[in-house]
Amino acid sequence: MFFAKRPRSVYRFDLSPDEIFVDASNLPDHDEQQFDGRLERAISRHTFFGLAIFCALVFLFFLGRTFWLAVVEGDYYAERSKNNSLNFTPIFAERGNIYDRTGKELVWTDNGTSTDKRVGPNRVYLDTPGLGHILGYVSFPNPEEFKTGLYHPQELLGRDGVERSYDKYLLGERGVRIVEINAKGEQASDHIVKLPVPGKELKLSIDYKVQTKLYEYMNQLAIDRGFAGGAAVIMDVKTGELLALTGYPDYNPNILSQGEDTKMINQYFTDNRNYMLNRAVSGLYTPGSTFKLFVAIGALAEKTVNPFKEFVTNGELVVINPYDKTQQTVFKDWKDNGTVDMRRAIARSCNVYFYIIGGGLGSQPGLGIANIGKYAKLFGLDQKTGIDLLGEEEGSIPSPEWKAKNFKGEGWRLGDTYHTAIGQYGVQVTPLQLARAYAAIANGGKLLKPTVLKIKPEQAVVQSNISLDPSIWKTIHEGMRLVVTEGTTKSLDVPGVAVAAKSGSAELGVSKTKVNSWIAGYWPYENPRYAFAVVMEKGDRSNIIGSASAMRQLLEWMTIYTPEYLKSEV
């Protein structure tokens, strides 16, 4: 049986009338976007193979890149991911401000960009001279400090003054920011996990107006009279608060903190005038006649002499050599002071009187070097005061042991005692030590710890109580008042405040052509409130204008501008 062969056709459509009419009924809803009315055709072979090749190439590219990152550079990116995936960045706290006792802002932080190439806060200091040594300055860590790992290169550190001694108090606490870094070194996210805690504020005991004015007078005196430097301290005799603490020459904290003026900074650190030395705290000076009061106190306490006994002086003390009557040693006075008792000897600063009560002469016994040392040390002249500033020096009180150590075993001589009794030879004190000792004289024996912070009266620290017969204090106070009313320092007889004081002129070196000029004392005389000590160093011996001049100018200024400090407290 033969079958007829159906002709081959590509497309065959078997359409029924119903299908045609059904499509016709959809015409109102005809939507070409949904491919209504369009004929579908199969993808051509060329298009299929082209798309397949493209997909294969993309796959191969990603496969190759994955191989490169995972195998070839896998170790590099693994290490980079481990080290940098989470970056802990410090947020520096704002350093605390510093104020004087009146609330005047002395130091603050400018949150702008620092003046050098490192980004960070800029510490700003009141542009007034005389505040440098007490305030200090800040700077970034040096390379050696940075190597320790304790400091961040953009964190400011206190370098001197209260900036250094209260660095942690002012610094505050760092915050922490976590920055997520991807393998390409790009920042992926940023989160603060700990907010910084700002540093605390400091309120100092000083009055910046008094301090800067005192510095101004010292500065001008040094220029006019050729002094190499100087220092001054004013201390509350009841609390130990420092109303002023300054030294000449001083540095500008802004220059050191900003670090741009390299010429001036180099001068600060290399100049032989010692700009960086805080003379009030770290400078050691021969005190001269300001030391005589401690010899007088010792002589009265040990009953070596009574305050009314008179000695006839004629400008020198002659001591005959007991082993050779033809030999004698002459100890000079600064002038013929005539007949003096203790009060007059203090007022006239009679060297011969203090030679006698210190070392003895004939039938008159002397206090002796051991007891001179005992009473000097009782007033803290050989020890640090404990002030809340760093770099303080101890004083020096000579003794036979001290001489043997420093002079190759030499023995102690009577002349050494005489010279020590008038504050010469090996006696050395800081201005702060002397001011504290005079505060103890003023308040009747309370040796206080000095502080640069404003404190409450009950916070005062009494380091020791020097118990003496009230008559001893009375004698010393009356002698000091006579110094001002009719003695060596009449320049301090200022209207408006009664001052008690003791002057001193300490000879320096073998030639003795240079002297340290001292003035120390307290006010008001009736009810002591503040003690003071001022030294001007290395002045010409022939000069008659010294430290008392700077103190007089300050007191005259204070009677007008800060009279509240000159009045007795109720």
Residue-wise pLDDT tens digits, 15-64: 555 555 555 555 555 555 555 555 556 667 777 777 778 788 877 777 77
Residue 557 confidence (pLDDT): 97
Cα 125 to Cα 139: distance, rounded to the nearest angstrom: 13
pLDDT of residue 271: 93
Q: Which of the 8 DSSP states describes residue 292?
A: H
pLDDT tens for each residue of 527-566: 999 999 999 998 888 888 999 999 999 999 999 999 999 9
What average pLDDT does the segment 275-280 reach? 96
pLDDT digits (tens, 9 = 90+) for 345-387: 999 999 999 999 999 998 999 999 999 999 999 999 999 999 9
Q: Using CA atoms, how far apart are residues 245 and 255, in angstroms rounded to an integer?
A: 21
Q: Residue 500 pLDDT > 80, yes or no?
A: yes
Would you state the pLDDT for residue 13? Answer: 47
Cut 0.85: pTM above it: no
Confidence bin at 3 (pLDDT 50/70/90): very low
Would you call 163 helix, strand, or coil by DSSP?
helix
Q: Please give the full DSSP string across 247-288, using - where no structure is assigned.
A: EES---HHHHHH---HHHHHHHHH-TT-TT--HHHH--B--G
pLDDT at 116: 46
Q: How confident is the model at residue 114 (pLDDT cuts 50, 70, 90)?
A: very low
pLDDT of residue 398: 95
Q: CA-to-CA distance for 241 and 455, rounded, in angstroms?
A: 7
CATH code 3.40.710.10 region(s) in the chain = 208-290+299-307+380-565
CATH 3.90.1310.10 location in the chain: 87-203
CA-based angle 372:506:297, to the nearest 5? Answer: 30
Q: Which residue has the higher pLDDT, 42 or 108?
A: 108
- One of 3.90.1310.10, 3.40.50.12780, 3.40.50.1370, 3.40.50.10860 is the CATH number of 87-203, namely 3.90.1310.10
At residue 396, the pLDDT reads 95
Q: What is the pLDDT of residue 268?
A: 95
Q: What is the pLDDT of residues 518-535, one digit of tens each?
A: 999 999 999 999 999 999
* Higher-scoring residue by pLDDT: 458, 174: 458
Residue 100 in this model has a pLDDT that exceeds 80 = yes
List, for residues 412-471, the tens digit of each pLDDT value.
Answer: 999 999 999 999 999 999 999 999 999 999 999 999 999 999 999 999 999 999 999 999
Closest CA to 207 of 432, 454, 390, 560: 454
Residue 202 makes CB contacts below 8 A (sequence gap 6+) with 96, 97, 98, 99, 162, 166, 169, 170, 453
pLDDT for position 325: 75
The pLDDT assigned to 447 comes to: 98
Rama region for 445: left / alpha / beta (φ>0; ψ in -120 to 50; rest): left
- The CATH number of 208-290+299-307+380-565 is 3.40.710.10
Lowest mean pLDDT among 126-135, 195-204, 321-330, 390-399: 321-330
Residue 173's pLDDT is what? Answer: 83
Rounded to whole angstroms, how far apart are CA atoms 325 and 323? 6
Tokens linked to 235 = 């201390």
